[in-house]
Amino acid sequence: MEKLKGRLLYMWWFNLPWKLVTADGEIDLWPIINKFFTSLNGKRANHEQALDSYTLSADESSELQLNYVQGQYVLLEKPEGFGISNVQAYLDKTLCWLSGRLVEIEIEDGKQVRFVADASEEVLGVYFTGDGSSCEVPRGAEKTVCKAGQQDCCIFLSVSADGFHCEKFNSSLARMLLDRLAKGNVRASRIIGNCALLGRKEREATVV
């Protein structure tokens, strides 16, 4: 089993490389993940997503098997009858959520890949508020954490009449912002913040 650890700088599925900055330099994760998908293709498998992790693994008891066509789709499908789960959609969402954070990755071709946030890193945790997909930024954190008005401002920081918000977990908007960053359509000094999602709760963010 291969184990990797570093800061993930993921900027959407088709924006390569998938950067992992380790103590020994920068790694492109895409060739590694592509090789894993290929090794699992056609095998029965399952996946599991949490707020700070994603796992895709071989599972002989599963009703679904992996169907991978590079550049087109990564699906879990029933060989016969109806049943489907979009691996690419779940993994892409998780990698957007984990982008900017220290992560640990375990990969064993034909068996399992797992992405999980490094629990030793102290980050700002935010909650979805109301019925929307934006997260409220607690008073003061927009300056100390998100760096509002500073050169290294987080790309996910937004402001409205209701105050400052984090858009990292607002999937469609987050992907657009990451895509713009990858293509150089935002200020070069903007950063990918390392905040974490704590779920949906009507309360201010806390440090985890």
Question: What ranges do the domains of the chain cover?
Answer: 2-117, 124-207
d(CA 35, CA 107): 10
Whose CA is closest to 107, among 182, 50, 34? 34
Whose CA is closest to 148, among 164, 168, 161? 164
Question: pLDDT value at position 189?
Answer: 80
d(CA 202, CA 136): 9
Contacts of 195 (CB under 8 A, 6+ apart): 100, 123, 124, 125, 126, 135, 145, 154, 156, 166, 168, 205
Question: pLDDT value at position 135?
Answer: 94
Q: What is the pTM of this model?
A: 0.92
DSSP classification of residue 126: E
Question: pLDDT value at position 130?
Answer: 74
Question: pLDDT value at position 88?
Answer: 97
d(CA 72, CA 28): 20
Question: pLDDT value at position 201?
Answer: 75
Question: pLDDT value at position 200?
Answer: 87
Query: With a cut of 70, which residues of the chain have pLDDT below it?
Result: 188, 202-208
Question: pLDDT value at position 132?
Answer: 79
Question: pLDDT value at position 17?
Answer: 97
